[in-house]
């Protein structure tokens, strides 16, 4: 809705002084008459009972302040050998005996073949790599991810054995010249 037009009550021509308002204008630095000067309220009166009692001298009362500032943060302990860190990570998910079974079972040879489940999986992934390099990495990486999810959900010795098998099997997809090819872009003959 549009606003109503402004109708002036009086037009003052340019250059003419403004008409005087009722009363006088405040001088510079003077408060206008509609503003009252600010005064501080009087302090509250102290009860006479408090005045009658003996008050100790504030300078004679000892003030004791205890400040505790730790000077340094204790350093983190040095990490142990890799086998201790691997064992601690395995025990975090399953009990120590299950972790021992889950880590060693895939590395033990299958009777009659002489190969373990981990090396058999590594051979399978290497055969997939011969079909195409990306296929070998996809099979090894997919199995590693699925075994990790299985361990995260189940937390059993069998799931840890599956993760160990998938981890060792990924080495069947990796060849020593792959990092050189990734870094330089030049394939080796």
Domain ranges of the chain: 98-176
- pLDDT, tens only, 5-16: 777 767 778 887
Q: Which residues make beta-bridge pairs with 116? A: 109
173, two tokens: 């997809």
Q: Is 116 helix (H, G, I), strand (E, B) or coil?
A: strand
Residue pair 183/175 in contact (Cβ under 8 Å)? The answer is: no
Task: Supply 30's token pair.
Answer: 């003077």
The string of pLDDT tens digits covering residues 104-147 is: 889 899 888 889 999 999 999 999 988 888 898 899 999 999 99
Give yes or no for a contact between 94 and 87, defined as CB atoms under 8 angstroms apart.
no
Would you state the structure tokens that stand for residue 134, as one six-digit string? 């990306």
The two tokens of residue 68 are 């505790």
Which bin fits 15, alpha (ψ -120 to 50), beta or left (φ > 0)? left
Rounded (5°) CA angle 63-64-65: 120
Average per-residue pLDDT in the chain? 80
**Of all residues in the chain, what percent are helix, strand and coil, respectively (each to 5)?**
45, 0, 50
pTM, to two decimals:
0.49
pLDDT one-digit tens code per residue, 85-96: 888 877 777 778
Indicate if the pLDDT at residue 84 is higher than 80: yes
Confidence of residue 103 (pLDDT cuts 50, 70, 90): confident
Q: b or e along 69-102 (b: 16 or more beta carbons within 10 Å of the residue's beta carbon)?
A: eeeeeeeeeeeeeeeeeebeebeebbeeebbbbb
Q: What is the phi-psi region of residue 131: left when phi exceeds 0, alpha when psi lies from -120 to 50, beta otherwise?
A: alpha
Exposed/middle/buried for 118, CB within 10 Å: 0-12, 13-18, 19+?
buried
Q: Give the pLDDT of residue 121.
A: 92
Segment 53-70 shows an average pLDDT of: 75
Confidence of residue 50 (pLDDT cuts 50, 70, 90): low
Does the pLDDT of residue 49 top 60, yes or no? no
> What pLDDT, on a 0 to 100 scale, did the predictor assign at position 46?
65
């Amino acid at each position: 809705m549009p606003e109503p037009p402004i109708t002036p009550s009086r037009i003052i021509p340019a250059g003419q002084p403004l008409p005087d308002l009722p009363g006088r204008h405040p001088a510079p630095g003077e408060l206008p008459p509609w503003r009252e000067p600010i005064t501080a309220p009087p302090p509250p009166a102290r009860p006479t009972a408090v005045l009658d009692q003996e008050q100790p001298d504030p300078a004679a009362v000892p003030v004791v302040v205890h400040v505790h500032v730790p000077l340094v943060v204790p350093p983190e302990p040095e990490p142990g050998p890799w086998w201790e860190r691997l064992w601690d990570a395995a025990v975090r998910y399953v009990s120590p005996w299950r972790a021992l079974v889950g880590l060693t079972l895939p590395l033990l040879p299958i009777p009659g073949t002489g190969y373990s489940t981990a090396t058999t999986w590594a051979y399978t992934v290497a055969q997939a790599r011969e079909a195409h390099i990306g296929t070998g990495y996809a099979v090894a990486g997919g199995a590693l991810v699925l075994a990790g999810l299985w361990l995260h959900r189940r937390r059993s010795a069998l799931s840890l054995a599956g993760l160990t098998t998938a981890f060792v099997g990924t080495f069947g997809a990796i060849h020593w010249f792959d990092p050189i090819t990734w870094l330089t872009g030049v394939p080796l003959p």
